[in-house]
Amino acid sequence: MKKFFIFIQATFLVCTLHLSAQKIDNAASFRDVKSDHYFRFHYDNDYFTGTDQFYTQGYAFELTSPAFKKNPVNFLFVKLKNSSEKNGLSLEHIGFTPTTIKSNEILYGNRPFAASIFLKSFKIESDTINNIRIASSLSLGIIGPGAFGYEMQKGIHEWIGDEIPMGWQHQIRNDVVINYEVSHEKQLFRWKDYFALNLNITARLGTLNTNASVGMTATLGLINSPFTSVYDKNKFQIYLYSQPLANFIGYDASLQGGLFNRSCRYTIPDSHIERITLQNNFGIVMQWKSLFLEYNRIFLTREFETSKSHKWGGFRVGFKL
């Protein structure tokens, strides 16, 4: 038993020392809700870490329902044998700024202003025999002024009495977002309802971003297994998680501009993109009856040569329907 607790401590130490190209992830197993019909709201902001730069804000409205089994795009998603499934839609909005929003000039060597909004269709399949979870999604939307990033940031700053942002006229121009994603999660080890260690692999292809991620997820606390169909074994759950990931970057429209509209005033050159980034997502989750609550922090290494590491925080609130 002593060796086991040493193993747990070592695992979490490694996780916190390591560092997804995806900013909002609703399919991770540590966010599993034991229902096929629920609603969640997610909000990110670097205000939680005392900064106002790079990935500055994101939010998502997520809904799963058996009715979405009839979604016409579901034929694109991975289907497992002997599995339970969840089908859903989420509306996601993300925004990016350089290190300062006090200049109307192009800040060369800095991050471009960018915003994107898209509707994501997704399916989550859980193989309860082999402890495997596969999530597939298709995102359709827009990047550019049509995603109202400036209007959103300006409205929030006016509401909190902060300075009005400048420089958004140089943002990434309007272009289409079509992105497909598949993530695979495999449980490697589990000790009762107190500790688990999973392997994560994700691939994304599209006009918003093309990349791959690999990493581990460790959870510690009182937690139901996301790989079982048994509902509410523990009606109250509270647990910590840490998810270190290595990302292999192919393309990022928020830095390099859209694939089709090449009229952006300023982008980051391909040669300056960091092709490998490290990220750690860590946080705490509480679930009780129909309620889901989460608070998390994220740390990301620099995304291009003249950039620097970044961190932000976020929360989720959800409930079963």
The token duo for 81 is 């044998």
What was the pLDDT predicted at 314? 94
pTM over 0.75: yes
What was the pLDDT predicted at 11? 38
Is 2-320 CATH 3.40.50.10470?
no
pLDDT at 94 over 60: yes
CA-to-CA separations, 85 to 24, 31, 52, 74, 139, in angstroms, rounded: 20, 15, 38, 12, 19
The pLDDT-based confidence of 162 (bands split at 50, 70, 90) is: confident
The pLDDT-based confidence of 48 (bands split at 50, 70, 90) is: confident
Write down the mean pLDDT value for the chain: 90
Closest CA to 247 of 82, 23, 71: 23
* Mean pLDDT on 46-72: 88
pLDDT at 21 over 60: no
* Mean pLDDT on 266-282: 97
* Amino acid, single-letter form, for residue 229: S
CB 297 within 8 A of CB 50: no
The pLDDT-based confidence of 231 (bands split at 50, 70, 90) is: low
Domain boundaries, the chain: 2-320
The pLDDT-based confidence of 23 (bands split at 50, 70, 90) is: low
Closest CA to 264 of 178, 169, 166: 169
What was the pLDDT predicted at 232? 60
